[in-house]
Structure 1
Amino acid sequence: MHLLLLLPALLLPPRTEAGEIIGGKEARPHSRPYMAYLQIQTPVGLSSCGGFLVREDFVLTAAHCQGRSITVKLGAHNVKKQERTQQNIRVRRAIRHPAYNPQNNQNDIMLLQLERRAKKNRAVQTLGLPRSRGRLSPGTQCMVAGWGRVGLNRKTEKLQEAQLRVQRDQECSRRFRIYKSQTQICVGNSRERKSVFRGDSGGPLVCNGVGQGIVSYGSNDGTPPAVFTRVSSFMPWIRRTMRRFKQSD
């Protein structure tokens, strides 16, 4: 089975260009105020990823969403419009997990320290993180959200969302040899045409109001399940890193 890092559509050749949440629907505007849209400058041009606000000056995303420079757009619904709710903040410091391995996509998690604190309001809020290392039970219903295409030939600039269920680890270990249950979550029923796909990287898996996962990788044709970084496994590193850098002004 070919692996696909769920990278931005702009980095892909036209015949594979897609970035949709498959089988999703448009989210109610600003109903997911923790969502962040990342505009990334890379050596080959501009790209984009998802992320989520976890402190007024920190966004959590996937480590493979790295670049020369990153600007975070908060409070957005339509990322191609200049909405009054939007806050555009440059990233001061991108901190990848020290054990991130791009070869097998292990420890695919990154904290982005913003140059200034976001102003919290109805369109911009933080998302809570796990308080324990307890595992999600198979069948748990969660939500994912992201921006991108809704089909190979249909674009959307508006936030899309979908409900996905946590699967047994065996569903992913059978499909992906590199799957590691200690630090990853298997999400999406293989019998349903609903999944994250290219361009959704870095976005959150939200279960019972808590950010439990980060979109990491999936199969080359976009069929579920997909693999998410397990946030609870990295809470000591997240807390330690955010403590190390003082709150921005």
Structure 2
Amino acid sequence: MGSLSEKMGHLPLPLLFFLLCSRSEAGEIIGGTECKPHSRPYMAHLEIVIAQDKVVHCGGFLIRRNFVLTAAHCAGRSITVTLGAHNIMEKEDTWQKLEVIKQFPHPKYDNTLILHDIMLLKLNEKANLTLAVGTLPLPPQFNSVPPGRVCRAAGWGITEVGESGSDTLQEVKLRLMDTKACRHFHSFDPNLQLCVGNPQKRKSVFKVILRQGGPLLCAGVAQGVVSYGQWNAKPPAVFTRISHYRPWINKVLKEN
């Protein structure tokens, strides 16, 4: 049997952060910078009711006017999506608040091994595309990004260890690592997942990179979905590899 830290090393992020900090906030962007307001129009803030009087938050991103992509462990009883936000605590005219009418977690999602951690959310109506609200392109099937590539992750995270969550959208540069950097995650599968974050760069340290479910952008394309990281705030972390799931994504979009 593994140690407690090994077991906690790949807990679903809302549960992991709740166990560690006893709070509903679930994100960190260490060493990140604040985004220019509305420069990431695809970003979605998810408010998730998981039990009576218990709400957690995730990130996600708009891929169609009526579909958001996020992590499967962000499922809940009900989900409200806010689009067009920069400061999530200060409502603006750019905001569009929509309700999720159907959740599509991947049918093979394993919440123990944290595999196939990807989910589509169908909105109750189509978002209005504006300068502050837009969609993000996905990679084709079998598309791969090489280790060493520097990509970007964005979300409403924690900017310093020990601080509360940032109300404003933050962004951080992260390097894609060789799969051997994630070998300590026993369930890591390089066909399904990406290993992200240089363990030698403490500025990118994280328990959770941003609110889970957010995108990893490489050359303007969403290549990954934030899945899990280590309990002790040390990189790298694991992202779901979107290109592997394009057939499933296309099927859900076509049928719904």
TM-score (structure 1 length as normaliser): 0.93
Cα offset, 1:11, TM superposition: 3.6
Cα offset, 1:156, TM superposition: 1.9
Q: 1:14 maps to what in 2?
A: 21
Q: Are residues 1:225 and 2:232 paired?
A: no
Distance 1:15 1:49, change over 3 A: closer
Q: Are residues 1:42 and 2:50 paired?
A: yes
Q: 2:246 maps to what in 1?
A: 235
Distance 1:220 1:207, change over 3 A: same
Unaligned runs of 5+ in 2: 1-5
Confirm or deny: 8 A CA contact 1:53 1:60 kept in the other structure.
yes
Q: Distance in 1 between matches of 2:17 and 2:228?
A: 17
Q: 2:63 maps to what in 1?
A: 54
More divergent stretch after superposition (212-221 vs 40-49): 40-49
Confirm or deny: 8 A CA contact 2:148 2:175 kept in the other structure.
yes
Residue 177 (structure 1) aligned to one of 186, 191, 194: 186
More divergent stretch after superposition (33-42 vs 149-158): 149-158
The number of residue pairs the alignment matches comes to: 244
Q: 2:173 maps to what in 1?
A: 163
Cα offset, 1:10, TM superposition: 7.6
Confirm or deny: 8 A CA contact 1:142 1:166 kept in the other structure.
yes
Distance 1:122 1:19, change over 3 A: same
Q: Which amino acid aligns with 1:6?
A: L
1:125-144 superposed matches below 5 A: 125-144=134-153
For the residue of structure 2 that corresponds to 1:238, the secondary structure is helix
TM-score (structure 2 length as normaliser): 0.90
Cα offset, 1:132, TM superposition: 3.5
Q: Are residues 1:150 and 2:172 paired?
A: no
Q: Distance in 2 between matches of 1:4 and 1:112?
A: 22
Confirm or deny: 8 A CA contact 1:8 1:19 kept in the other structure.
no
Identify, as 1 or 2, the structure richer in helix: 2
Cα offset, 1:20, TM superposition: 1.6
For the residue of structure 1 that corresponds to 2:229, the secondary structure is strand
Distance 1:196 1:237, change over 3 A: farther
For the residue of structure 1 that corresponds to 2:144, the secondary structure is coil
For the residue of structure 1 that corresponds to 2:102, the secondary structure is strand
Q: Are residues 1:65 and 2:74 paired?
A: yes
Cα offset, 1:131, TM superposition: 1.8
Unaligned runs of 5+ in 1: none
More divergent stretch after superposition (11-20 vs 41-50): 11-20
More divergent stretch after superposition (18-27 vs 199-208): 18-27
RMSD of the TM alignment (CA)?
1.8
Q: Distance in 2 between matches of 1:72 and 1:121?
A: 16
Cα offset, 1:149, TM superposition: 2.5
For the residue of structure 1 that corresponds to 2:107, the secondary structure is coil
Cα offset, 1:65, TM superposition: 0.3
